[in-house]
């Protein structure tokens, strides 16, 4: 069953739940076409100084820890279970890079040095060979996500020219299968959970079935925690040639202010001899990542990590607890192809949370971390 059916999600035409979070629906935008006009974000209030917290992972979930820590364990008498949006941050941002371009491989060391995980959408027609393979293995080893961008990076209407005699459905399946197999069997990722439409052509969507949790478009917008958005029509901000850190910083700050998830779509990174499309300077990208890390307001992570949290938080929120012998139990069912090892952060009024008979530790940044894989959670006074 598709995740959209599991969660009862609406289409991309739905109005998102929070002000400032909107999707304009999917559109087709070839790389050679003009990039969408910039959207003016409200200027953030000037801050004399942004506190910097260590970008450290939780020992339980591996998610970055927000804030300075030192929060006391709650001591009330009721469960009052509350799920934290975006891992306890005000908003979330995912950096995505399309086409597996040479300039991205060239500037991978600078992105790697930030310690922030991103999503890289591989289109196999744009690279091959041992150096290409080694680069993506290193990206994977650093904890980043590799997503499907198809083999030949084509509109659906162009598939017949590459696969004569096959139906569009058969040709699309081959494009997706071959790219997924490369990511899994050659590069070594455990699965493929997200894809990006070539040229933003969302006419691919009917051929996806339940292969992926998310598919990213090129449509402008953000996602709110309670959004009814179709996850196979994920919006973004498609970066324009020459955009600077000021543009990216404004997007990051706007996501925090609206308590939303914003994805950013990059193509070429400069300086490079392979400035294929919409090139931006690598130092501007890195500076924006550091801006996002400072202040502890925004969770920066891959599409699969943020998206899985979004889905998991909705599942737990919608679960109705049952009671037996003083214990309350929440249960949920994960959709097909949900990645293993994901967690949701929650707060309670007091008492003890446990999973599988093991008490959960209190994280002094102000929450408990609930594993999604057990598909149940117990509370007792």
Q: How do residues 77-111 score in pLDDT, each as one tens digit? A: 999 999 999 999 999 999 999 999 999 999 999 99
Is the CB of residue 95 less than 8 Å from the CB of residue 304?
no
Asked if residue 347 belongs to a domain, the reply is no
Nearest CA to 33 out of 241, 175, 274 is that of 241
Which residues neighbour 159 within 8 Å (Cβ) at sequence distance 6 or greater? 166, 168, 171, 172, 175
Asked if residue 56 belongs to a domain, the reply is no
Asked if residue 210 belongs to a domain, the reply is yes
Q: What is the pLDDT of residues 307-318, one digit of tens each?
A: 999 999 999 999
| pLDDT of residue 6 exceeding 60 | no
Q: What is the pLDDT of residues 329-368, one digit of tens each?
A: 999 999 999 999 999 999 999 999 999 999 999 999 999 9
CATH of the domain at 219: 3.20.20.370
What DSSP designation does 17 have?
A: S
pTM: 0.88
Asked if residue 151 belongs to a domain, the reply is yes
pLDDT of residue 54: 58
Q: What is the pLDDT of residues 231-285, one digit of tens each?
A: 999 999 999 999 999 999 999 999 999 999 999 999 999 999 999 999 999 999 9
- Distance between CA 78 and CA 100 in Å, rounded? 50
Instruction: Scan for tokens 């995912």, then name that residue.
Output: 94
Asked if residue 40 belongs to a domain, the reply is no
Which residues neighbour 246 within 8 Å (Cβ) at sequence distance 6 or greater? none
How many CB atoms are closer than 10 A to CB 176?
22
pLDDT band for position 27 (50/70/90)? very low
- pLDDT exceeding 70 applies to what percent of the chain? 86
Asked if residue 160 belongs to a domain, the reply is yes
Asked if residue 213 belongs to a domain, the reply is yes
- Distance between CA 153 and CA 196 in Å, rounded? 10
- Distance between CA 19 and CA 13 in Å, rounded? 15
| pLDDT of residue 50 exceeding 90 | no
More confident of the two residues 42 and 330: 330
Asked if residue 357 belongs to a domain, the reply is no
| Domain that includes residue 183, residue range | 3-25+91-307
| Total domains present in the chain | 1
């Amino acid at each position: 069953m598709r995740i959209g059916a599991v969660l009862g999600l609406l289409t991309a035409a739905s109005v998102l739940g929070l002000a400032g979070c909107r999707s304009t629906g999917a559109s087709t935008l070839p790389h050679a076409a003009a990039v969408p006009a910039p959207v003016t974000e409200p200027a953030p209030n000037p801050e004399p100084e942004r506190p910097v917290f260590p970008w450290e992972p939780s020992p339980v979930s591996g998610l970055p820890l927000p804030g300075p820590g030192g929060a006391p364990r709650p001591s009330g008498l009721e469960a009052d279970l509350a799920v934290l949006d975006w891992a306890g941050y005000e908003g979330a941002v995912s950096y995505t890079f399309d086409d597996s371009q040479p300039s991205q491989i060239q500037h991978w060391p600078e992105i790697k040095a930030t310690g922030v995980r991103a999503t890289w959408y591989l289109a196999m027609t744009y690279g091959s060979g041992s150096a290409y393979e080694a680069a993506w293995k290193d990206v994977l080893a650093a904890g980043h996500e590799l997503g499907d961008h198809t083999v030949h990076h084509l509109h659906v209407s162009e598939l017949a020219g590459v696969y004569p005699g096959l139906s569009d459905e058969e040709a699309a399946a081959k494009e997706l299968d071959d790219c997924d197999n490369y990511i899994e069997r050659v590069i070594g990722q455990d699965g493929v959970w997200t894809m990006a439409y070539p040229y933003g052509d969302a006419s691919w969507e009917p051929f996806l079935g339940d292969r992926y949790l998310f598919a990213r478009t090129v449509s402008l917008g953000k996602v709110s925690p309670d959004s009814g958005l179709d996850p196979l029509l994920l919006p973004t901000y498609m970066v324009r040639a020459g955009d600077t850190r000021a543009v990216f910083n404004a997007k990051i700050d706007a996501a925090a202010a609206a308590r939303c998830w914003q994805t950013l779509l990059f193509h070429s990174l400069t300086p490079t001899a392979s400035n294929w499309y919409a090139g931006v300077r690598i130092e501007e990208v890195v500076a924006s990542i550091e801006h996002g890390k400072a202040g502890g307001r925004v969770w920066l992570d891959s599409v699969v990590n943020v998206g899985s949290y979004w889905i998991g938080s909705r599942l737990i929120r919608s679960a109705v607890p049952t009671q037996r012998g003083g214990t309350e139990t929440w249960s949920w069912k994960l959709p097909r192809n949900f990645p293993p090892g994901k967690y949701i952060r929650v707060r309670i009024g007091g008492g003890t949370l446990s999973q599988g008979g093991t008490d959960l530790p209190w994280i002094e940044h102000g929450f408990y971390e609930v594993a999604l894989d057990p598909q149940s959670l117990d509370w007792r006074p």
